[in-house]
Amino acid sequence: MHPEIGKAVYGIILSLLVLLGISFIYLTPNETSFYIALTALVFLIILLLWTINDIRKQAGQEGLRPSSEPEYAFRQLT
């Protein structure tokens, strides 16, 4: 499966979990709604980490380096 398709499916699942959690919280605030909200939060954190990892990989393929690396900073000074 292509990574972008996987992210889209993951985002749809996350959206459905968030909507389900919100509806449960407003209709019946109980332990089930807490677990649904917690699951949605875990999905969101995984999606954010996945996106950050993809951005880092793409930056590495393009030859970009963060300015925090000493070698890159040294080359800028000379």
Domain ranges of the chain: 3-77
Q: Give the predicted TM-score (pTM) of the model.
A: 0.53
Q: What is the DSSP string of 7-70?
A: HHHHHHHHHHHHHHHHHHHHH--SHHHHHHHHHHHHHHHHHHHHHHHHHHHHHHHTT---TTSH
Q: What local confidence, expressed as pLDDT, does residue 65 receive? A: 55
Q: Which pLDDT tens digit goes with each residue over 23-51?
A: 777 777 777 777 777 777 787 788 788 87
